[in-house]
């Protein structure tokens, strides 16, 4: 005669599966959160490089260069904020330089670099990760020094 066994899982088996899943989720959570902040950090470093390029352009051209936010991109205005849009490598035909990282510029006060490389006035750009409320600021001091601040 065939012996019948009860079907299903035991409590010990269920607890083992739940424990393993919990450990996997706990190990993976910092990786996912780190990815989000690394994307934001990359965007801030990219903006910092663009600001340094604008500063360099001001010194080389011996004029002032305004860096204005232009709908998720930046625009170099040669001769001040009312000047002409600079077009060159990395810019569109209208002078917009889009950020390649997946961040957006939420708040910006235009910075004008002088022919000496100083910033008048000093200002900052706030970058926001579109998937959350995480933000970082790129700060330009009066001397023209550019830094990323949390």
Residue 32 clears pLDDT 60, i.e. is over it: no
Other C-beta atoms closer than 10 Å to the C-beta of 143 total: 11
Tell me the mean pLDDT in the region 22-43. 70
Can you tell me the distance from the alpha carbon of 89 to that of 85, in angstroms, rounded to the nearest whole number? Answer: 13
Can you tell me the distance from the alpha carbon of 28 to that of 39, in angstroms, rounded to the nearest whole number? Answer: 17
CATH superfamily of domain region 11-149: minor pseudopilin epsh domain (3.55.40.10)
54 membership: H or E segment, kind and range: helix 11-61
Give the model confidence (pLDDT) of 88-124 as tens digits: 888 888 899 888 777 788 777 789 999 999 999 888 8
Beta bridge partners of 105: 127
| Domain layout of the chain by residue ranges | 11-149
Can you tell me the distance from the alpha carbon of 44 to that of 150, in angstroms, rounded to the nearest whole number? Answer: 10
Give the model confidence (pLDDT) of 39-76 as tens digits: 788 888 999 999 999 999 999 999 999 998 877 788 99
pTM of the model: 0.74
């Amino acid at each position: 005669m065939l012996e019948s066994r009860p079907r299903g899982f035991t409590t010990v088996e269920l607890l083992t599966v739940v424990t393993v899943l919990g450990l996997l989720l706990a190990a993976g959570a910092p990786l996912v959160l780190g990815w989000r902040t690394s994307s934001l950090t990359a965007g801030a470093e990219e903006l910092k490089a663009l600001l340094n390029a604008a500063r360099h352009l001001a010194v080389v051209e011996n004029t002032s260069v305004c860096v204005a936010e232009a709908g998720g991109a930046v625009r170099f205005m040669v001769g001040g904020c009312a000047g002409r849009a600079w077009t060159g490598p990395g810019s569109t035909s209208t002078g917009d330089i889009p950020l390649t990282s997946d961040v957006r510029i939420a708040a910006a006060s235009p910075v004008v670099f002088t022919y000496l490389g100083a910033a008048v006035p000093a200002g900052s750009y706030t970058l926001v990760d579109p998937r959350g409320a995480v933000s970082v600021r790129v700060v330009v001091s009066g001397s023209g020094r550019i830094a990323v601040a949390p």
